[in-house]
Structure 1
Amino acid sequence: MIVPDISQNAVAVADHYDELDPVYRRVWGEHVHHGLWVTGHETPTEAVEALVDTVGDRLDLMAGEACVDIGCGYGSTARRLAETRGGRVTGVTLSAQQADYAAARPSPDVNIQLRDWLDNGLSDGSATAAWAIESSEHMVDKSRFFAEAHRVLAPGGRLVICAWLAETGAGRWKVRHLLEPICREGRLPSMGTREEYEAMARAAGFAITGYEDVSRRVARTWTICARRVVKALLVDRETRRLAIDGRNRVFLLSIPRLILAYRTGAMRYGIFTLSKAREDGVPG
């Protein structure tokens, strides 16, 4: 597990997203996650929606299902899957700015809550499907992240995780100059490998039913972000202010590091599909 030299907690994560809220919406839009280029010809908007739709496909979502979006951001993924798959979605986010943005865009089947997933208040077995798109990285206690997902899911429930992952066996240079700084600058308490995620999932009681490394199909996200940040710095006063004076300004400077991390293989992007056993003991 890659751990930054400056410890991070939920307060730091919330502060990161609250302060950089204007920049995130300008650079990322409503979906604060990577895009997935399936054909290679998608627009950035189509690519981020393709990642959401891939999650829906992996979960095999059915109309009327009770779902949980763990680390829901602005609620855009929750709204899209509620509209396209007919689910009822509860989303949780640490960011007050994100929760307020979602509240201003209500959807009848989506409930966004300002909560820490590690203290989510949801009932045992209250959902049949859950997903975490680039939020597990921000969890201070990743084992508890998995344990809470297992508790909240009903027997037979499914979980999909899209995660930033450290290269298995990454060398000292990659850890020191790429992975550890990415954790520090992005307010990640830690970054795990595929093997570490799978071990924690099994320890929580999940069966691993699928895994796909899509690093090459998402890496384009960061070159697009780099261009957008440069443009925003040129035309937007608020972006310039945050880049110069903001507490979290260092993240804007880490984008070249993220590009290099993908190109060298130091960072991977994985999609895990997990299931909780049914009451008869058979995996969901």
Structure 2
Amino acid sequence: MASVSSLSCSSLSRRPAGVRRQRSIAARAGFLDTLIKPITSSGERKPLNEGIGNFYDESSQLWESMWGEHMHHGYYPEGCPPKSNQQAQIDMIEESLRFAGVERVSKMVDVGCGIGGSSRYIARKFNCESRGITLSPIQAQRANVLSQQQGFGERLSFQVADALNQPFADGEFDFVWSMESGEHMPDKQRFVGELARVCAPGGRIIVVTWCHRVLAPGESLSADEQSLLDRICEAYYLPAWCSVADYEQLFKANGLTGVKTTDWSAEVAPFWGEVIKSAFTAEGVSGLLKAGWTTIKGALVMPLMAQGFRMGLVKFVVITGQRPE
């Protein structure tokens, strides 16, 4: 495992733009490799934050129209009764809170807030305040509109801001929530450091994110594994991958206590099949064409995410810890 001081974009499994390996995975990806390769070989990328913001500016309206206000995986445990995808997304929030032992919240920050679904759900549950940040102006605007329409008033507010440089005071929040935004962070050390900084003494942090599999000491990802992650990264603007073990190390290095993790890869694996099915409905195809190429590019890569889960390469993990009193 890399040292804590080196756990940033350059030391993880993602290579900097322009020097990434472009090995073919045609045997696994089939025709998708041919479609995606022109995207990854151009050597031209917008600055990361702009790319992330534009991706969600384009895709959020389509997602909301088909899936609702929660822009994250659903929780589908084996043997559970059939349920809607929207219920599975709510269950993901509930299971994350249960795993972390969250029983009360006064003021939370929603890091990578999307259109504010998690904030509104948690605010209802605990009667708390929430501040949300996203790189997408369209998401922030929509989150504020929905929250006002649903009667939250000044309790909830959302703005455009960088998670690596949060516009909040030290110790401002007793609950720090990051639902599927960590994968976009180019510097995991700084990301966790900012989460710890804005967390109040005694407060709780939850990060729910995509990772790659845990590597043995001295082990690297195979060429095929790295190539698959590279293609996913290009479509979703993911600059760095790490493992849950890396996150655990970073939590502890930032002085957080009671750190624990869990792997919900099996519980969320059905999600990608559901998303792929929705993308190829008449409404989905029409929406993709209207949304634009960036969103279409993300849709083309969805089978690769499903493949990564099947391979045991892509992991869906939860990390939680508490700032000491």
Give the alignment's TM-score, normalised by structure 2: 0.79
Q: Which residue, 216, 222, 231 being the options, matches 1:181?
A: 231
Q: Whole-Å Cα distance in 2 between the matches of residues 250 and 118 of structure 1?
A: 26
Q: Which residue, 261, 268, 272 being the options, matches 1:222?
A: 272
Q: Whole-Å Cα distance in 2 between the matches of residues 166 and 182 of structure 1?
A: 12
2:171 aligned residue: 125
After the TM superposition, list the runs of 4 or more consecutive aligned residues in structure 1 that deviate by more than 3 angstroms: 58-64, 232-235
User: Which residue identity does 2:231 align to in structure 1?
Assistant: P
State the Cα deviation string for residues 72-110 of structure 1 (Å, max 9, x = none).
101011000000122211111111111111121122322
Partner of 2:70: helix, strand, or coil? coil
1:25 aligned residue: 64
Is the aligned partner of 1:135 residue 2:181?
Answer: yes
Partner of 1:158: helix, strand, or coil? strand
User: Which residue identity does 2:108 align to in structure 1?
Assistant: C
Partner of 2:232: helix, strand, or coil? helix
After the TM superposition, which of the residue ranges 213-222 and 55-64 deviates more from structure 2?
A: 55-64
Partner of 1:173: helix, strand, or coil? helix
Cα distance change on mapping 1:261 and 1:118 into 2, 3 Å: same
Query: What is the alpha-carbon root mean square deviation over aligned residues?
Result: 2.0
Q: Whole-Å Cα distance in 2 between the matches of residues 64 and 155 of structure 1?
A: 13
Percent identity of paired positions between Structure 1 and Structure 2: 26
Q: Which residue, 313, 316, 324 being the options, matches 1:266?
A: 313
2:242 aligned residue: 192
Q: Whole-Å Cα distance in 2 between the matches of residues 254 and 22 of structure 1?
A: 19
1:147 aligned residue: 193
**Aligned residue pairs: how many?**
274
Question: Higher Cα Rg: structure 1 or 2?
Answer: 2
Q: Is the 8 A contact 1:4 1:184 kept in 2?
A: no
Partner of 1:162: helix, strand, or coil? strand
State the Cα deviation string for residues 153-175 of structure 1 (Å, max 9, x = none).
11111101111010123422122
User: Which residue identity does 1:125 align to in structure 2?
Assistant: G
Q: Whole-Å Cα distance in 1 between the matches of residues 248 and 105 of structure 2?
A: 29
1:281 aligned residue: none
Q: Whole-Å Cα distance in 1 between the matches of residues 68 and 145 of structure 2?
A: 16
| Structure 2, gaps ≥5 residues long | 1-11, 18-44, 216-220
Partner of 1:143: helix, strand, or coil? helix
1:113 aligned residue: 159
Partner of 2:171: helix, strand, or coil? coil
| Structure 1, gaps ≥5 residues long | 279-284
